[in-house]
């Protein structure tokens, strides 16, 4: 194309910073290399797949194992804008897998009604940034359906999947991490996986859990995170945190995409002789205080990290609870390395983010407190 | 030449009426009840001259307090006239329940009708459900035929040679801008882009029919409106590159333009949120007695959001001078309009809210221009919202993140890109008037291309906004938590400069 050529000839004096940012994100969530290498393991196969494929597998299994399961949302029919629903409509038909009108409050409300009739309603909100029109339905309806009726009715079959978090070039409305809003709502569960294997097992558990679940998927990892995922149907327990690295000097806790950053920080800290214990919280409410408490009682120090703005983030809740439970054992104030108290900014994304080096600095100052 | 064309699988009759004809037609079709309602809501002095007695008119007698006997009585009656009739009672029996002088629009009724807020409602003996649709789809106003000739008998707003040529030039400029920015994204120079291909007539012709005092509340596929208003190619490039001259200070993704100077509210990604804003803005213009209206643009997908309902209902009730301009381009990302709504498109919905509307061929610049021109006139002089539905097609992918061949047939895209291209149709008309030549065409195209490449080069070289701007504008003044965070960030940058892009001044 002539325009393309002419444009290429315009000297490139400056590299777009967004491209640089995308390249900078560290990813070491899984052992697997790219694409599908097959390993024969114990029961059934496991393939190295990325996170959107793992989600897709979970949805296939959910629809396959329960004839009363439905998958729907904006653009899910052709596979979804992140390819998570690819092949579902072909396999299970348009009555069970379908596009909805562009209306998040409608998606959530419809899903609640469907779930209340004893179905598994698996709704997709295209971006977590667009979940707010559905906020009333989720907060005032889904979360209170059981309680307000004395368990005459419930919508426990409801699962809302939605991609969240930074992606390098998303700006205000394709980057937010709104999990804390939902953690303030008794009656909901909030689940966030860190990797493909986790995503599949936690999503299946969320779908089958008899409570409404908001399931945030780290969209940065959809393509980038690759690891071996068992092909069979399996679930990982909700409300159980996992110690994914043992250590003795400080406890680090996070969820979702931020785990990859924390992992790198642990490795770098180890080079400086600091031994970090790393915990993936996985379920934010109701959360596994015991695991975190046990770890902090051992290390005497805690660092919490998330992408969402620091003020009122879920890190604040963890800090308060652990201070209550471990006050005598804490040797330093709980550190929080989080997003800034600004809207999510495009060109400033690298400044906004809770980067590995911000985490490392906080580890050092906490350990040396 | 076919008398109508297929649009999303259905025949659309083509209306060959001028704008005033259309309005007259609409009015004559409207029931007397609707006409009376319309007359009543004109403010005193402008319409009937008599202040309204309807208690639901703004500022008039409030409805009776809930809990009072009158209220209970009334609400019982309100619901039950019709219910009892369904249960088989005679209409006479149902009607006589209401028998006293009302305070709230429920006027004492005779045997055949009930006076209900909004006017008289007749009783009938048959159980008639309203049909889900009319027999024929609402027709579509058009001026230019496929060959760019004015349809005989068509009425449209005159455009001078100068205006006509300017409209054409801006349509071409928009097209070139889209081509080059799209390519810039493909080359990795900007992070995102979204074209208006196929919707150039909507963009430019609607903008041309407005005045600069009119307030624009865009979705995102209307940069041509901003172009028309005088946003320069350099200003577009600055935003897409998020450099320090971008008015949004590099905070938003490309294509999120905005300009206070040009009365163009900044684009926000969430769909349809701008619609209620437009009503508020229009109400303000009305309170200030400005000779101006607000116009808001949105897609077919946007009409499914709750904000669409909120905005139309508010606009009708508040009598706000706002134009709702729907670009019905057949697709919302991968979702076709058949999976978006089952109404006859969008324009029909105006009626349910008490809003006048028109369907227009969105690929006919003269029709769009004329319809918006007339809509603006009515909105301002009569203090009312108008709904315009332009039928068109999203010729490009949804955005640079999308590949639309995954979900729609290539020949459908090709058909609209070629046979229905709004620019070439309009060019035929302009050239048919001897207002434009091939030589001018190639001069224009090469000039715009050169200007744009130059603008891109400048924008790309320009530094990003400084780190300080990360913290401004969250509030009017920077609060203490952000002061603290800025200091911490600056310390981190000093310690780890390699983590940060070099083109953002610290
Ligand atoms: C509230 C909200 N939900 C979802 C999205 C994601 N999204 C962006 S554009 C779009 C489709 C919009 O279609 P339409 O209104 O027809 O406009 P068009 O793109 O066709 O111009 C969707 C679903 C969004 N931006 N905001
Ligand atoms: Mg559309």
**Least confident residue range of A136-140, A312-316, B107-111, B355-359:** B107-111
Whether A11 is in a domain gets the answer: no
pLDDT of residue B108: 56
Other C-beta atoms within 10 Å of A34: how many?
A: 10
- C-alpha–C-alpha distance, residues A6 and B108, integer Å: 77
Q: What average pLDDT does range B170-174 have in this prediction?
A: 98
pLDDT band at B51 (very low <50, low <70, confident <90, very high): very low
pLDDT band at B74 (very low <50, low <70, confident <90, very high): very low
Q: What average pLDDT does range A126-138 have in this prediction?
A: 98
Is the CB of B300 inside a 6 Å radius of any atom of ligand 1? yes
Q: Are residues A308 and A174 in the same domain?
A: no
pLDDT of residue A258: 98
Last residue of a domain, one of A195, A230, A265: A230
**Least confident residue range of A293-302, B23-32, B159-168, B438-447:** B23-32
Q: What average pLDDT does range A153-180 have in this prediction?
A: 98
SS (H, E, C) B413-425: HHHHHHCCCHHHH
**Least confident residue range of A291-295, B86-90, B218-222:** B86-90
Whether A1 is in a domain gets the answer: no
For the segment B317-370, what is each residue's pLDDT rounded down to a tens digit? 999 999 999 999 999 999 999 999 999 999 999 999 999 999 999 999 999 999
Burial classification of residue A298, based on how many CB atoms lie within 10 Å of its CB (0-12 exposed, 13-18 middle, 19 or more buried): middle
Tell me the average pLDDT of chain B.
Answer: 85
Q: Are residues A40 and A136 in the same domain?
A: yes
Q: Are residues A24 and A94 in the same domain?
A: yes
Q: If you measure CA to CA, which chain A residue comes closest to B485?
A: A340
Taking a C-beta distance cutoff of 8 angstroms, is the pair A146, A153 a contact?
A: yes
Q: What average pLDDT does range A142-157 have in this prediction?
A: 98
Q: What average pLDDT does range B129-149 have in this prediction?
A: 96
**Which mutation among B333, B337, B345, B362 tests ligand 1's pocket best, with the greatest number of atoms within 8 A of CB?**
B333
pLDDT band at B5 (very low <50, low <70, confident <90, very high): low
Q: Are residues A218 and A172 in the same domain?
A: yes
Whether A358 is in a domain gets the answer: yes
For the segment B411-452, what is each residue's pLDDT rounded down to a tens digit? 999 999 999 999 999 999 999 999 999 999 999 999 999 999
Taking a C-beta distance cutoff of 8 angstroms, is the pair B190, A16 a contact?
A: yes
- Given the CA of residue A173, which atom of ligand 1 is nearest to it? 25
Q: Are residues A254 and A202 in the same domain?
A: no
- C-alpha–C-alpha distance, residues B426 and B164, integer Å: 9
pLDDT of residue B55: 32
pLDDT band at B104 (very low <50, low <70, confident <90, very high): low
Question: What torsion, rounded to 10 degrees, do the Cα atoms B463, B469, B473, B474 define?
Answer: 120
Q: Are residues A226 and A247 in the same domain?
A: no
Burial readout B475-489 (b: 16 or more C-beta within 10 A, e: otherwise): eeeeeeebeebbeeb
For the segment B480-490, what is each residue's pLDDT rounded down to a tens digit? 999 999 999 99
> Phi and psi for B249 in degrees, rounded to 5?
55, 35
Task: State the best of B500, B502, B505, B506 to mutate against chain A, taking most chain A CBs within 10 Å.
Answer: B500
Task: Tell me the two tokens of residue B328.
Answer: 């019905």
DSSP B231-268: --HHHHHHHHHT-TT-TTTT-S-TT---BTTTTBPPP-
pLDDT of residue B106: 61
**Nearest in space to A306 (alpha carbons), one of A272, A344, A347, A249:** A344
pLDDT of residue A1: 56
Q: Three-class SS of residue B170?
A: helix
pLDDT of residue A5: 77
Q: Are residues A80 and A137 in the same domain?
A: yes
- C-alpha–C-alpha distance, residues B290 and B277, integer Å: 17
Q: Are residues A321 and A255 in the same domain?
A: yes
Whether A236 is in a domain gets the answer: no
- C-alpha–C-alpha distance, residues B475 and B482, integer Å: 10
Q: Give the residue with greater pLDDT, A367 vs A15.
A: A367
Is the CB of B256 inside a 6 Å radius of any atom of ligand 1? no
pLDDT of residue B343: 97
Question: What torsion, rounded to 10 degrees, do the Cα atoms A190, A195, A200, A203 define?
Answer: 10
Tell me the average pLDDT of chain A.
Answer: 92
Taking a C-beta distance cutoff of 8 angstroms, is the pair B27, B367 a contact?
A: no
Last residue of a domain, one of A185, A203, A230: A230
pLDDT of residue B94: 41
Q: Give the residue with greater pLDDT, B109 vs B223.
A: B223
Whether A291 is in a domain gets the answer: yes
Q: pTM score > 0.90 for this model?
A: no
Other C-beta atoms within 10 Å of A353: how many?
A: 24
Q: Are residues A97 and A226 in the same domain?
A: yes
Burial classification of residue B82, based on how many CB atoms lie within 10 Å of its CB (0-12 exposed, 13-18 middle, 19 or more buried): middle
Residue A71 CA to ligand 1 center (angstroms) comes to: 20
Is the CB of B337 inside a 6 Å radius of any atom of ligand 1? no
pLDDT band at B111 (very low <50, low <70, confident <90, very high): confident
Before A286, cis peptide (omega within 30)? Answer: yes
Domain that holds residue A256: 242-367
Q: Are residues A254 and A219 in the same domain?
A: no
**Nearest in space to B333 (alpha carbons), one of B252, B401, B409:** B401
Residue B280 has pLDDT above 80, yes or no: yes
Question: What torsion, rounded to 10 degrees, do the Cα atoms A271, A272, A276, A278 define?
Answer: -50
State which fold the B161-461 domain adopts: Rossmann fold (3.40.50)
Nearest to A102 among B180, B340, B401 (CB): B340
For the four alpha carbons of B332, B337, B340 and B346, in that order, the dihedral sign comes to: positive
- Long-range own/partner contacts, residues B88-97 (CB < 8 A, 24 or more apart): B91/B123, B91/B124, B91/B125, B94/B123, B95/B123
Task: Tell me the two tokens of residue A368.
Answer: 């040396």
- Distances in Å between the alpha carbon of B162 and those of A259, B30, B208, B433, B436? 61, 38, 12, 12, 11
Q: Are residues A217 and A249 in the same domain?
A: no
pLDDT of residue B109: 52
Residue A209 CA to ligand 1 center (angstroms) comes to: 31
For the segment A337-364, what is each residue's pLDDT rounded down to a tens digit? 999 999 999 999 999 999 999 999 999 9
pLDDT of residue B75: 39
Query: Given an 8 Å threshold on Cβ–Cβ distance, is A345 in contact with B268?
Result: no
The residues, any chain, with a CB within 8 Å of residue B201's CB and separated by 6 or more, are B171, B362, B363, B364, B365, B368, B392, B422, B423, B425, B426
Taking a C-beta distance cutoff of 8 angstroms, is the pair B197, B186 a contact?
A: no
For the segment B388-413, what is each residue's pLDDT rounded down to a tens digit? 999 999 999 999 999 999 999 999 99
Span between the terminal Cα atoms of chain A, in Å: 61
**Percentage, residues of chain B above pLDDT 70:** 78
Q: Which residues of A touch B301 (CB under 8 A)?
A: 101-102
For the segment B181-233, what is each residue's pLDDT rounded down to a tens digit? 999 999 999 999 999 999 999 999 999 999 999 999 999 999 999 999 999 99
Query: Given an 8 Å threshold on Cβ–Cβ distance, is A350 in contact with B501?
Result: yes
Domain residue ranges of chain B, discontinuous segments joined by +: 161-461, 467-496
Q: Give A279's strand partners.
A: A243, A253
Of B196, B277, B398, B404, which is the active-site residue?
B398
Q: What is the CATH number of the domain that holds A257?
A: 3.40.50.920
Residue B89 has pLDDT above 80, yes or no: no
Nearest to A13 among B449, B461, B493 (CB): B461
pLDDT of residue B413: 98
Nearest to B495 among A99, A346, A361 (CB): A361
CB within 8 Å of chain B, chain A residues 160-199: 169-174
Whether A213 is in a domain gets the answer: yes
- Domains in chain A: how many in total? 2
pLDDT of residue A143: 98
Count how many Cα atoms sit within 13 Å of the Cα of residue B138 in the half-sphere of its side chain. Answer: 24
Last residue of a domain, one of A206, A230, A254: A230
- C-alpha–C-alpha distance, residues A84 and A243, integer Å: 28
Residue A35 has pLDDT above 70, yes or no: no
Q: What is the CATH number of the domain that holds A33?
A: 3.40.50.970
* Alpha carbon of B191: minimum distance to chain A alpha carbons (Å): 6
CB within 8 Å of chain A, chain B residues 442-481: 449, 453, 456-457, 460-461, 464-465, 467, 470-471, 474, 481
For tokens 């983030």, the residue is A313
Q: Give A191's strand partners.
A: A215, A283
- Given the CA of residue B302, which atom of ligand 1 is nearest to it? 15
Whether A269 is in a domain gets the answer: yes
Q: Are residues A87 and A172 in the same domain?
A: yes
- C-alpha–C-alpha distance, residues A62 and A204, integer Å: 7
Of B183, B412, B443, B484, which is the active-site residue?
B183
pLDDT of residue B67: 37
pLDDT band at B31 (very low <50, low <70, confident <90, very high): very low
- Given the CA of residue A132, which atom of ligand 1 is nearest to it? 1
pLDDT band at A7 (very low <50, low <70, confident <90, very high): confident
**B485 CB within 8 Å of a chain A CB:** yes
Query: Given an 8 Å threshold on Cβ–Cβ distance, is B307 in contact with A351?
Result: no
pLDDT of residue B50: 40
């Amino acid at each position: 194309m002539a325009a393309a050529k002419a444009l290429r000839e315009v000297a490139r004096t400056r590299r777009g910073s967004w491209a640089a940012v995308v390249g900078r994100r560290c990813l070491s969530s899984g052992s697997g290399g790219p694409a599908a290498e097959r390993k024969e393991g114990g029961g059934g196969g496991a393939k190295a797949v990325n996170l959107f494929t793992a989600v897709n597998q979970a949805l296939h299994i959910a629809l396959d194992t329960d004839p009363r399961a439905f998958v729907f949302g904006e653009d899910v029919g052709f596979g979804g804008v992140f390819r998570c629903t690819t092949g579902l409509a072909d396999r299970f038909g348009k009555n069970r897998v379908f596009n909805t009108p562009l209306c998040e409050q409608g998606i959530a409300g419809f899903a609640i009604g469907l779930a209340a009739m004893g179905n598994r309603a698996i709704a997709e909100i295209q971006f977590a940034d667009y979940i707010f029109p559905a906020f009333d339905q989720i907060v005032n309806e889904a979360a209170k359906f059981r309680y307000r009726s004395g368990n005459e009715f419930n919508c426990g079959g409801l699962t809302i999947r939605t991609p969240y978090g930074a992606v390098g070039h998303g700006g205000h409305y394709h980057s937010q991490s709104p999990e804390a809003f939902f953690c303030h709502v008794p009656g909901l569960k909030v689940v966030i996986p860190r990797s493909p294997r986790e995503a599949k097992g936690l999503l299946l558990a969320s779908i089958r859990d008899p409570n409404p679940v908001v399931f945030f998927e780290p969209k940065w990892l959809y393509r980038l995170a690759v690891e071996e995922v068992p092909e069979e149907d399996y679930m990982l327990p909700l409300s159980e945190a996992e110690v994914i690295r043992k250590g003795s000097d400080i406890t680090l806790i996070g969820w979702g995409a931020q785990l990859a950053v924390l992992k790198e920080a642990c490795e770098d800290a180890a080079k400086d002789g600091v031994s970090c214990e790393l915990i993936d919280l996985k379920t934010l409410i109701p959360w596994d205080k015991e695991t975190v408490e046990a770890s902090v009682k051992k290390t005497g120090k805690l660092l919490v990290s998330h992408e969402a703005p620091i003020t009122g983030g879920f890190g604040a809740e963890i800090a308060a609870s652990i201070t209550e439970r471990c006050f005598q054992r804490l040797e330093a104030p709980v550190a929080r390395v989080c997003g800034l108290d600004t809207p999510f900014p495009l060109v400033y994304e690298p400044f906004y983010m809770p980067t590995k080096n911000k985490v490392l600095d906080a580890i050092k100052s906490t350990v040396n407190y | 030449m076919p008398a109508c064309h297929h649009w999303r699988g259905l025949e659309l009759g083509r209306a060959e009426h001028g704008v005033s004809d259309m309005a007259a037609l609409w009015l004559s079709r409207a029931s007397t009840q609707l006409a009376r309602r319309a007359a009543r809501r004109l403010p005193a002095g402008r319409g009937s001259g008599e202040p309204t007695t309807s208690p639901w008119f703004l500022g008039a007698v409030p409805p009776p307090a809930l809990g009072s006997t009158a209220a209970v009585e009334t609400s019982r009656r309100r619901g039950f006239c019709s219910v009892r009739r369904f249960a088989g009672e005679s209409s006479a029996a149902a009607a006589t329940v209401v028998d006293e002088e009302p305070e709230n629009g429920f006027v004492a009724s005779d045997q055949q009708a009930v006076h209900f807020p909004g006017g008289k409602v007749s009783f009938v003996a048959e159980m008639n459900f309203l049909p889900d649709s009319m027999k024929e789809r609402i027709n579509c106003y058009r001026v230019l035929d496929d060959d760019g000739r004015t349809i005989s008998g068509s009425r449209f707003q005159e455009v001078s040679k100068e205006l006509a040529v300017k409209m054409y030039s801006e349509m071409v400029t928009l097209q070139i801008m889209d081509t080059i920015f799209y390519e810039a994204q493909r080359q990795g120079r900007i992070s995102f882009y979204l074209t208006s291909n196929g919707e150039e007539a909507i963009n430019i012709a609607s903008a041309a029919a407005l005045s600069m005092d009119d307030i624009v509340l865009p979705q995102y596929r209307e940069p041509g409106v901003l172009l028309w208003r005088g946003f320069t190619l350099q200003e577009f490039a600055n935003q897409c590159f998020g450099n320090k001259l971008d008015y949004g200070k590099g905070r938003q993704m490309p294509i999120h333009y905005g300009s206070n100077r040009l009365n163009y509210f900044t684009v926000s990604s969430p769909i349809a949120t701008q619609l209620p804003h437009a009503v508020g803005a229009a109400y303000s213009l009305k309170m200030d007695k400005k000779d101006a209206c607000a116009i808001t643009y949105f897609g077919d997908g946007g009409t499914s959001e709750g904000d669409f309902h909120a905005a139309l209902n508010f606009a009708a009730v508040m009598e706000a001078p706002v134009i709702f301009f729907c670009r019905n381009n057949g697709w919302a990302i991968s979702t076709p309009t058949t999976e978006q709504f089952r109404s006859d498109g969008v324009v029909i919905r105006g009626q349910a809210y008490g809003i006048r509307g028109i369907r227009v061929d969105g690929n006919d610049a003269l029709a769009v221009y004329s319809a918006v021109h007339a809509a603006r006139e009515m909105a301002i002089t009569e203090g009312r919202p108008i709904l315009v539905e332009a039928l068109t097609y999203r010729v490009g992918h949804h955005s640079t993140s999308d590949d639309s061949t995954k979900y729609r047939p290539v020949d459908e895209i090709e058909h609209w890109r070629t046979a229905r291209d709004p620019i070439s149709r309009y060019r035929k008309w302009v050239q048919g008037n001897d207002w434009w030549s091939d030589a001018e065409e190639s001069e224009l195209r090469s000039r715009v291309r050169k200007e744009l490449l130059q603008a891109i080069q400048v924008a790309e070289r320009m530094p990003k906004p400084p780190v300080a701007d990360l913290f401004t504008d969250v509030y009017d003044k920077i609060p203490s938590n952000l002061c603290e965070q800025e200091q911490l960030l600056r310390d981190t940058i000093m310690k780890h400069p390699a983590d940060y892009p070099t083109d953002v001044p610290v």
